[in-house]
Amino acid sequence: MTVVSTKEFNANQEKYFDMAASEDIVIQRGGNLFIIQSYIPYDEPDVIFEPDEDFYRSIPLEEVRDEIVKYIYKKYS
């Protein structure tokens, strides 16, 4: 694992993205840490991600749209 500042990361993004293929990169900004983990190569179309628990708690897009429309009509009527 390599830890770098945001300034160092911005100056050498290509280097750190290449390094992320084999190790985790941690970008430190103030008290926050951001992690770039090893990636899955783009040329592997067989990779399928399984839904996690956040997916099952999500709201369908149609429901979000309907609620927004209701809110707008209520707000401006």
pLDDT at 8 over 80: yes
For residue 52, the enclosing domain spans: 2-75
Rounded distance, CA 58 to CA 52, Å? 10
**pLDDT tens digits, residue range 24-75?**
889 998 888 888 877 666 666 666 778 888 888 888 889 999 999 999 999 9
Mean pLDDT of 9-29: 89
**Which pTM was predicted?**
0.47
The count of structural domains within the chain is 1
Query: Residue 45 phi/psi, 5° resolution?
Result: -70, -10
Question: What per-residue confidence (pLDDT) applies to 10?
Answer: 92
| Res 76 pLDDT > 80 | yes
Q: What token pair was written down for 52?
A: 């996690």
